């Protein structure tokens, strides 16, 4: 059994992904079947954002991955020059 | 597992049968399934065959690709988190191993090996 920080981080990830899944499922699948004057609609953004926000998140993720690869490659190239 | 599909072509002029074999790879299977699902989604979202579904079905269908991606991402995150939380950590064995490494280093230093 993992201990301490590992355990906490793991459970945190599980909890976060469950929350995200529930919120997103309600937003995309449940809301269209709910009357438009129900109070639950006030907790959710307009439907277009359910596609735009994950798109932006994916772009940011790609940016981070690309930046990381760029930094590592640049560092490697410098050390090769010195050698 | 692959399944082979043999197609025989006979030509009246050649009067010969030319066997052509076609192997269905896993990639092709996946692409086939994905394109089927994609066509079904396109039909519902853009109403290409003019079925005129009730508006609710179109409302649910059009974010489907993004929704499936997000669900897959959530599942991956949950799996990674769960396996991190239940990882079989052996702290005592780790400490013992570190001690043995130190011992070996000192022993080799004494015998002249430079580390």
Q: Which tens digits make up the pLDDT trace of B38-91?
A: 999 988 888 888 777 788 888 888 899 999 999 999 999 999 999 999 888 888
Q: Do A50 and B66 touch (CB under 8 A)?
A: yes
CB B39 within 8 Å of CB B22: no
Buried b (16+ CB within 10 A) or exposed e, A14-52: beebeebbeebeebbeebbeeeeeeeeeeebeeeeebee
* Contact partners, residue A3, CB within 8 Å, separation at least 6: B89, B91
CB B69 within 8 Å of CB A61: no
Q: Do B84 and A24 touch (CB under 8 A)?
A: no
- Name the interface residues of B facing A (CB cutoff 8 Å): 56, 59-60, 63, 66-67, 69-71, 74-75, 77-78, 80-89, 91
- Per the structure block, which two tokens stand in for B10? 């006979």
Q: Which helix (H) or strand (E) holds B24?
A: strand B16-24
**Measured distance CA(B37)–CA(B41) in Å, rounded:** 6
* Contact partners, residue A62, CB within 8 Å, separation at least 6: none
Q: Helix A4-25 crosses helix B64-85 at what angle (to 10 degrees)?
A: 160
ipTM of this predicted structure: 0.80
| Residue B93 with chain A: CB contacts under 8 Å | none
How much is the pTM? 0.70
- Among A17, A24, A32, beta carbon nearest to B60: A32
**Mean of the per-residue pLDDT values of chain A:** 89
**B15 torsion bin: left (phi>0), alpha (psi -120 to 50), beta (else):** left
Burial category of A10 from C-beta neighbours within 10 Å (exposed 0-12, middle 13-18, buried 19 and up): buried
A27-47: average pLDDT: 88
**Amino acid B6: pLDDT:** 46
**Measured distance CA(B49)–CA(A7) in Å, rounded:** 52
């Amino acid at each position: 059994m993992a201990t301490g920080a590992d355990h906490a981080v793991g459970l945190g990830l599980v909890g976060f992904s469950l929350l995200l899944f529930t919120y997103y499922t309600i937003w995309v699948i449940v809301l269209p079947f709910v009357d438009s004057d129900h109070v639950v609609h006030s907790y959710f953004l307009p439907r277009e954002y359910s596609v735009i926000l994950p798109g932006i998140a994916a772009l940011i993720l790609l940016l981070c991955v690309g930046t990381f690869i760029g930094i590592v490659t640049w560092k490697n190239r410098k050390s090769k020059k010195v050698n | 597992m692959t399944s082979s599909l043999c197609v025989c072509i006979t030509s009246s002029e050649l009067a010969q049968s030319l066997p052509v074999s076609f192997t269905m790879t896993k990639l092709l299977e996946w692409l086939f399934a994905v394109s089927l699902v994609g066509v079904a989604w396109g039909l519902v979202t853009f109403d290409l065959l003019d079925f005129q579904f009730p508006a609710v079905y179109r409302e649910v269908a059009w974010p489907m690709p993004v929704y499936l991606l997000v669900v897959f991402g959530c599942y991956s995150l949950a799996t990674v988190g769960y396996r991190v939380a239940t990882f079989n950590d052996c702290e005592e064995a780790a400490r013992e191993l570190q001690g043995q490494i130190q011992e070996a280093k000192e022993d080799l230093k004494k015998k002249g090996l430079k580390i």
